[in-house]
């Protein structure tokens, strides 16, 4: 059984909530054999009048079932994605980034993110 990796990235303020990128990355990574938890695929679990908080609660339940996280480009512009990454770092879960050129995940290197959370440079490998 392969590790379950949660896909995280910006949605609010994007056309179609950035679903095209989420879906394309999911297909590409599943074709490579990864088990991907895509929050866009579970949107039916919240009512049509759901708030950002409702979506975040659903997404955090998915994240709790994951073995790690993959961030999409511009993830740092999303307060939800920043929170998800912070949770993974606090839990010691691996964090990867989706490389658009390679169409694969690569280890995530981080000096600091824009919400003020700092951590020494760290490479998290698969």
Domains and CATH numbers, the chain: 4-124 (3.40.50.450)
Q: Using CA atoms, how far apart are residues 67 and 4, in angstroms rounded to an integer?
A: 5
pTM of the model: 0.81
Q: What is the pLDDT of residue 93?
A: 92
- Answer whether residue 116 shows pLDDT above 50: no
Q: What is the pLDDT of residue 46?
A: 72
Longest alpha-carbon distance in the chain: 41
DSSP 59-104: HHHHHHT-SEEEEPTTGGG-HHHHHHHHHHHHHT--EEEEETTTTE
For the residues 36-56, what does the mean pLDDT come to?
84
Any bridge partners for residue 5, and if so which? 36, 68
Q: Using CA atoms, how far apart are residues 46 and 108, in angstroms rounded to an integer?
A: 31
């Amino acid at each position: 059984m392969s590790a379950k990796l949660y896909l995280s990235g910006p949605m609010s303020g994007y056309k179609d909530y950035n679903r095209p990128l989420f879906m394309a990355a999911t297909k590409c990574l599943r074709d490579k054999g990864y088990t991907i938890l895509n929050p866009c695929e579970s949107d039916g679990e919240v009512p049509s009048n759901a708030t950002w908080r409702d979506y975040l609660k659903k997404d955090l339940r998915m994240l709790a079932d994951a073995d790690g996280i993959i961030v999409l480009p511009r993830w740092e512009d999303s307060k939800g994605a920043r929170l998800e990454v912070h949770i993974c770092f606090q839990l010691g879960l691996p964090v990867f980034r989706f490389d658009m050129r390679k169409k694969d995940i690569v280890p995530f290197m981080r000096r600091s993110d824009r919400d003020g959370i700092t951590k020494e440079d760290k490479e998290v490998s698969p």
